[in-house]
Structure 1
Amino acid sequence: MCHPVIRRFGSSAAGLSSFLLTEQEMIKHNFPVKGGRGCEGFVCTESDGRVTDGSPLFGLDCEMCLTTEGLEVTRVALVDADGRCVLDELVKPPNRIINYCTRFSGITRSILKPVSTRLEDVQSKLLQLLPRDAVLVGHSLDGDLRVLQMIHPHVMDTSLLYRQEFGRRFKLKRLAQVILNREIQSEDRRGHDPCEDALAALHLAQYFIRKGPREVLEDHHDELWDFPEIDDHVISSDHQLSSLSFGHALYGSGQSALFLGGAAETNGSVSNQHCRRQQCFSDREVVCVFRRLVQSYSLSVLQFSSFSNTLNQTTATGRQRHLQQVCERLRQMCVLYVGPLPADSTERHVHTLLKRCGRLRTVRLLHHTHGVHAEVVFEHLEGAQLALDHLDGHQINGCTIKVRRPVHELCLDLDERLSERLNDRLNSHMIYVCNLSTKPHRHDDLLQTFRQFGPIQQVTSAAEHSGKCSRHAFIKFECADSAQAAVGVALQIGSRKLSVCHALTPPHMTSWMHTHPVTMETSPETAEQREECDVSCDLEEPLLERQMKKLDGRVGKVFRALERNCLSVVILPGDSSGGGDHPGLCFIHIKQT
């Protein structure tokens, strides 16, 4: 009775009308509705509201491309209750196409070139084909209706029929495979077939109506809802497994484990009883033993200790100085010089000019230059980059301002480091968005605007670490292509024009930059103390760099020794000494080749 399907429909629901989405559900799941936000100008089907269990079902599916105005339809398919495809039309979007999305749509430039059918033509055909009591069926149907710019009040969505916990949804391909025993969206075919997808959604809905929620669960619970997947969290209702350690589970399943490293205990997660332990006296020995034994064990735990030993041997002052230098390098990447400015300019004027690009940490006017200039420090590297790209050459009261980065030793390799940030795979799925509203519906508007480029994993406030309300945010897509497409399109929410760029800040550095800002002021220590500290740091930092390079090389050798499809997890502990709290890093990767 706690299953999400039963909670929504009950165990004895029957008949087509029991499984229609309510108006409240349609609004919640972003379906176009009369008077809804963003639905101005949408075409309404001629529905009389009299839907019965005998009303006809129609399966609908669309393929889309990305244009300068967002997602637009390129192909429409409609199948009737008997499975006949009554409409299969190619559609030419009115706006310039940026991405044909051929991998999913199968549409190419040459396919659309001779097409003359427009959106309004397809809308007219659909209005003629759909009876007044028609029920539309689709998988994530809200997206199809939005690109068709049509409103229909009677819908069934198979992604919400076969529902999961926490809003997760099964893919249509998975449902067709398990429920219908049918293979769709074949990998060896270029793009999806909307007729095939519409028919699959139709048959899934008909099956659900015919069987009812209880029988669907009884027949398919184990193979669908309870099937172990990476993105499915299977929780024991009686929590009997909560006390079972990982080592016991591994041992009980007949798997073998190996621990290589020093004599330190493994905190019971992989105990001596369930794991072969091999003590190694150096990192080099760990790598050599692992490369010989890697094929013999299901799980290997390797402990490299030389770098942590080196850290323990260095002074707290040296470690803190080293971390501060990293933070200061990041901070210097956020500094810009702006000017010349009008003579009557104030810090508030500069702040008003630049805040659309990102939150500012400090603004300082420089009057001793030839004309008034300002030194500006952004909280995020992305804000500085947007200001540099968009405001250089901007006119203010007849003054043409220039936006420049500082020139000193910390910034000599700045261009190379920015290039590395742009190519960083950790950030390839993320974008930075600024000039957002602070209104209550801002989050929903943001999702609606950027979901057109692809599924979104997470939206994070750019001020999360400062605890303040922010007009800027990071958006993480499931696909890097979605992030790339979002950067190249002019977007706005209401009257606000958004500025978008690729995320540049290393994800693991965000808290370093904002929780522990490093000031330019120096403490009143004596010259002798400063000299002593500088000498000790100069001796320690090259040693840390050498050890880090060795550690990097050894991890690389381990990774190259892994088999294909092997999961590897690399954990680098953080540092909480010297009054700071710098988080560690965790890298997770599945070896593909």
Structure 2
Amino acid sequence: MELETEMETETETIPRKRKGTPNSALETEPDLEIKEPKAKKARLSSILFAENDVITPKQLCELLKYAVLGKSTPEPSWCQLLHQNHLNNVVVFILKGMSQLHFYRFYLEFRFLRKTFRHKFSLPPPTSRFLFNIVGLQRKKLVRGFPRTIKGSPNCENFILTKCDGFITDNSPLFGLNCEMCLTSKGRELTRISLVAERGHCIMDELVKPDFKILDSFTSFSGITEKILNPVPTKLKDVQTLLRQLLPPDAVLVGHFLDSDLRVLKMIHPYVIDTSLLYIRKQHRRFKLRFLAKVILGKDIQCPDKLGHDTIEDARTSLELVRYFLKYGPKKIAELNLEALASREELKAASQETEKKGGPTKPPNMSVLECLDSMGQKLLFLTRDIDELSSSRNCLTIKCSSNKEVLEEAKVEVPLFPFSIVQFSFEPFSPIFADEVKQSMKTKWTEMSTVYAGPFVKNCNIGPLKKMFKSMGPVQSVTLVLETFRPYFCVQYEVLEAAQLAIETMNGILVEGSYIKVRRPVTEFTLECDTLVHELEQDCENQGTIYVTGFGKAFKEHLLEHSSLFPSLEAMILPKDVKSRQQKNYCFLKFKSRDSAQVALEILKGKDWKLKGRHALTPMHLQTWLKDIHPEPAMPSGLQLVPPLLEKHVFQIAEENHPRIVAWRCNRKIEKLYHCLSPGTLCLILMPGTNNTFGLHPGLGLMKIKEEEESDPPGLGV
């Protein structure tokens, strides 16, 4: 007996009306307090706009790229991410070895996930290129042959030491250093050097002629051309000699990206302060000198209308930044929130570039890893299974020995990275256990959606009674039970909400002279049914959704006519029969909040529309999943076959590796990490599914953006 007939759903988003304020209101209420508009925040659309809820890795990649680059890349085709520029971080949790089957079999154990994540979608069974298709992480290629010789870095035998061999103190003098360079046939060579004393006066400013042929003068940065350098007599050796004479024994050199300046000078100095490291960004990235000058010192340098940078000005700026740091300390720097300001500037620059070009600046075939690289950002990857992945220069991969270590490392590292992947690894279900789960889930849902009602009088009128049961919702079958002294009805409903509504509204009522009871069959699958129903009602996907039954074909138009009664109505989900294409006489209405849904429910039941309803119990994704699992036909009573491995599952209930315990612990790990994330973090949970000797099972995705007002971690509960 099937649980429900196949159906299609039609989702309609309810249009919004803008509320205007009449002029008369302003005239009669001059002291009316005008509320400031709420700050924009990144958010996902309340409904995933996808005809098919199976989301491919390519579609996931679309969303993640848009989260990183914003409008400089095409918007995802299957959902909406609003106000992307207010997104702070992206975290992807991968539960390797888990599938939809795990989630719905151990639904009660995944309490945090189902109560927190409103958006659910199916994933196809994974391939070996799962991580590559989503973010661009590649698997290692096995290459046979001899290992290659790795050459070391160039030695520094041609570098010379300054004469600074004294001890430094708090009174040691600071000198700002800045260099410009060009590209020659032998690499980068010096073209200009400026040295500025601590009080700001320049003590050295020289143009330098390279020893080899110039290939690129870098004029846009330096302002220097090959023509300007032609008459210059000064060479690198002259500059080295002059520096050794000018710098006192306890001199401290100050600069921005000072290592590149000293390399091009071919000099070694023991005491340096590099402002690009003093004001370091997350993931070891560095702020531009121009940005630090503007935000910290309030001065504009390296203006785009000037040809090239002024090395004297840049050297002075580095000195001023060091003095500011020494005066106010790191606490003051932290209060400036430089990371957020820099990200805002980068997004603004990317948006302006997009407007100039009239479209996305990044090709759509770029991977997430390449997109991050184009933004100067690194990806963090925490996993137990690192051996199968090749390294990447813009991916920091941390190998852990256990899922517990993954959790501990993630608590520390994830808040520091704009994009992180945290992968936990679990053993997939054995084939026998997976088949058992599929069959028991279908049977469980069938029995939960079935009620027994009675007793009725022996000569009861069956027609009106059937009509009464059908008023609760779509009925699969109605069977008259004659094995009892007085007749009972066995009613199997198409949706769980109808069965629950029948129990809540008809149990204990007087029908044709008899007080009847309406209850579910008592079996191993329904023993904890009340607990499961309560938890389903609290599912985040069900929050703000109500089930309504008993209307006619014109209900949609009727509801739209009275839309002013339901200002927070977001969407109407109308199931249709696949074969007849007829709209069914029930629907789901989605509202902005649970409170709005409760108010609407009271209004609908109070109207003379002969409607019945309650809060939704069956998440739409669960309904789809139930239709996709097909158990084997039930064995006749007394002839049940029990595979040998099933006994093992019964006796392992208290063991550490039992799937129920694993699911509970997995839920706790993600809960702990989630509460470490900052507001404005896009969080994806991916159960990739399995495609191996343990069977082929589709995966499940959950998605949410963490908000500022979310409460502290809730207490434990199973």
What's the TM-score bracket when you normalise by the shorter of the two chains?
Answer: 0.5 to 0.7
The superposition leaves residues 171-205 of structure 1 with CA deviations (integer Å, 9 ceiling, x where unpaired) of 9xxxxxxxxxxxxxxxxxxxxxxxxxxxxxxxxxx
Question: Which residue identity does 2:634 align to in structure 1?
Answer: E
CA deviation digits over 1:238-265, x for unaligned, max 9?
Answer: 7964223322222222222111112377
Give the corresponding residue for 2:589: 475
SS of the aligned residue for 2:584 comes to coil
Which secondary structure does the structure 1 equivalent of 2:471 belong to?
helix
Whether 1:263 and 2:386 are equivalent positions in the alignment is yes
- The answer on whether the counterparts of 1:458 and 1:477 sit within 8 Å (CA) in structure 2 is yes
Does 1:304 find its partner at 2:419? no
Q: Which amino acid aligns with 2:611?
A: L
1:363-386 CA-to-partner distances (Å, cap 9, x unmatched) read 221011121111112121211121
Residue 603 of structure 2, aligned match among 489, 500, 506: 489
Deviation for aligned residue 1:405: 2.4
SS of 2:665's partner is helix
Is the deviation greater in 392-401 or in 547-556? 392-401
1:263 is aligned with what amino acid? I
For 1:429 and 1:419, the matched residues in 2 are separated by: 15
Whether contact under 8 Å (2:544, 2:593) holds in the other structure is yes
Structure 1 partner of 2:398: 278
Cα deviation, residue 501, structure 1: 0.6
Q: Relative contact order: is structure 1 or structure 2 higher (C-alpha 8 Å, sep ≥ 6)?
A: 2
Partner of 1:332: 447
Contact 1:490–1:498 under 8 Å retained in 2: yes
Q: Aligned partners of 1:449, 1:514: CA distance in 2, in Å?
A: 34
2:623 counterpart residue number: 510
Q: Distance in 1 between matches of 2:349 and 2:27?
A: 33
Structure-2 change in CA distance of 1:455 and 1:435 (3 Å): same
**Does structure 2 conserve the Cα–Cα contact (< 8 Å) formed by 1:434 and 1:500?**
yes
Over alpha carbons, which structure has the higher Rg? 2
In structure 2, the CA distance between the partners of 1:475 and 1:29, relative to structure 1 (3 Å rule), is closer
Q: Does 1:375 align with 2:490?
A: yes
User: Equivalent residue for 2:634?
Assistant: 521
Alignment pair present for 1:249 and 2:371: yes
1:588 and 1:400 mapped to 2: Cα distance? 47
1:547-575 Cα distance to aligned partner (Å, 9 max, x none): 21222222223223323443322122346
Aligned to 1:111: none
SS at structure 2 position matched to 1:432: strand
In the alignment, the residues of structure 2 paired with residue 492 and residue 576 of structure 1 have an alpha-carbon distance, to the nearest angstrom, of: 51
Asked if the contact 1:459–1:475 (Cα under 8 Å) also holds between the matched residues in 2, the reply is yes
Q: Match for residue 204 of structure 1?
A: none
Amino acid at match of 1:559: Y
Unaligned runs of 5+ in 2: 1-13, 37-79, 84-347, 352-356, 711-718
- For 1:184-223, list aligned pairs within 5 A: none
Q: How does 1:12-411 map to 2 (within 5 A)?
A: 61=20, 78-79=22-23, 85=27, 241-261=363-383, 262-263=385-386, 272-305=392-425, 307=426, 310-311=427-428, 314-343=429-458, 350-411=465-526
How many residue pairs end up in the alignment?
A: 374
Aligned residue number for residue 535 of structure 1: 647
Residues 208-260 of structure 1: CA deviation (Å, up to 9, x unaligned)? xxxxxxxxxxxxxxxxxx9999xxxxx97579642233222222222221111
Q: Which amino acid aligns with 1:498?
A: L
Mapped to 2, the partners of 1:465 and 1:583 lie a distance apart of: 25
Per-residue deviation, 1:503:
0.7
Query: Equivalent residue of 1:420, what SS?
Result: helix
Q: 2:700 aligns with which of 577, 580, 584?
A: 584
Distance 1:336 1:236 in 2: 61
What is the distance in 2 between the residues matched to 1:560 and 1:60? 37
Aligned-pair distance for 1:356? 1.6
Distance, in Å, in 1 between the alignment partners of 2:501 and 2:387 is: 49
Moved more, 580-589 or 501-510: 580-589
Deviations, residues 352-401 of structure 1 (Å, cap 9, x unaligned):
22122111122221011121111112121211121122223445444443
Structure 1: how far apart are the matches of 2:349 and 2:457?
A: 66
Separation in 1, partners of 2:698, 2:473: 24
Out of 600, 607, 612, the position equivalent to 1:499 is: 612
What amino acid is the match of 2:380? L
CA contact (8 A) 2:687 2:699 kept: no
Aligned to 1:553: 668
CA 371–383 in structure 1, closer or farther in 2 if over 3 Å, else same: same
Shift of 1:337: 0.8
Change (3 A) 1:570 1:421: same
Say if 1:60 and 1:297 are closer, same or farther in 2 by CA, change over 3 A.
Answer: closer
Cα displacement string for residues 400-437 of structure 1 (whole angstroms, at most 9, x for unaligned residues): 43322223343333222222233333312111111121
Q: Which residue of the partner structure matches residue 164 of structure 2?
A: none
Q: Provide the rounded CA distance (Å) in 2 between the counterparts of 1:284 and 1:365.
A: 55
Which is helix-richer, 1 or 2?
1
Map of 2:567 onto structure 1: 454
Deviation of the 1:351 alpha carbon = 3.5
Kept in 2, the 8 Å contact 1:322–1:541? The answer is no
Q: Is the 8 A contact 1:367 1:373 kept in 2?
A: yes
Q: Structure 1 residues 375 and 581, CA, compared in 2 at 3 Å: closer, same or farther?
A: farther
The residue type paired with residue 670 of structure 2 is: V
* Residues 465 and 425 (structure 1), Cα distance of their counterparts in 2 relative to 1, 3 Å cut: farther
State the partner residue of 1:127.
none
Aligned to 2:681: 566
* Contact 1:457/1:476, CA 8 A, preserved across alignment: yes
Q: 2 CA distance for matches of 1:258 and 1:483?
A: 41
* Alpha-carbon distance in 2 for matches of 1:86, 1:539: 76
> For 1:580 and 1:370, how far apart are their aligned partners in 2?
49
Work out the CA distance in 2 between the residues paired with 1:444 and 1:583. Answer: 38
Residue 582 of structure 1, CA deviation: 5.8
- Of 443, 447, 466, 2:556 maps to 443
User: Does the 8 A contact of 2:438 with 2:630 survive in 1?
Assistant: no
RMSD of the alignment, in Å?
A: 4.3
Question: Is the Cα–Cα contact under 8 Å of residues 454 and 479 in structure 1 kept in the other structure?
Answer: no
1:96-127 per-position Cα deviation (integer Å, ceiling 9, x unaligned): xxxxxxx99xxxxxxxxxxxxxxxxxxxxxxx
Other structure's SS at 2:366 match: coil
The residue aligned with 1:428 is 543
Distance 1:525 1:341, change over 3 A: closer
TM-score, normalised by the number of residues in structure 2: 0.45
User: Paired residue for 1:184?
Assistant: none
Relative to 1, partners in 2 of residues 1:481 and 1:445: Cα closer, same or farther, differing over 3 Å? same
Aligned to 2:626, what secondary structure does the other structure show? Answer: helix
Q: Could you tell me whether the CA contact under 8 Å between 2:377 and 2:394 is conserved in 1?
A: no
Q: Which moved more, 1:546-555 or 1:363-372?
A: 546-555
Question: What's 2:10 paired with?
Answer: none
In the TM superposition, what whole-angstrom CA distance separates every residue of 1:298-340 from its partner, at most 9, and x where no partner exists?
11101111x2xx21xx431211212433343333221211122
Kept after mapping to 1: 8 A contact 2:475/2:491: yes
The sequence identity of aligned pairs, in percent, is 22
Q: Is the 8 A contact 1:453 1:486 kept in 2?
A: yes
Looking at structure 1, the residues matched to 650 and 451 of structure 2 have their Cα atoms a distance apart, in angstroms, of 29
User: Counterpart of 1:511 in structure 2: which amino acid?
Assistant: T
Q: CA deviation at 1:469?
A: 3.0
Change (3 A) 1:575 1:471: farther
Deviation at 1:507, TM superposition (A): 4.0
Distance 2:381 2:510 in 1: 64
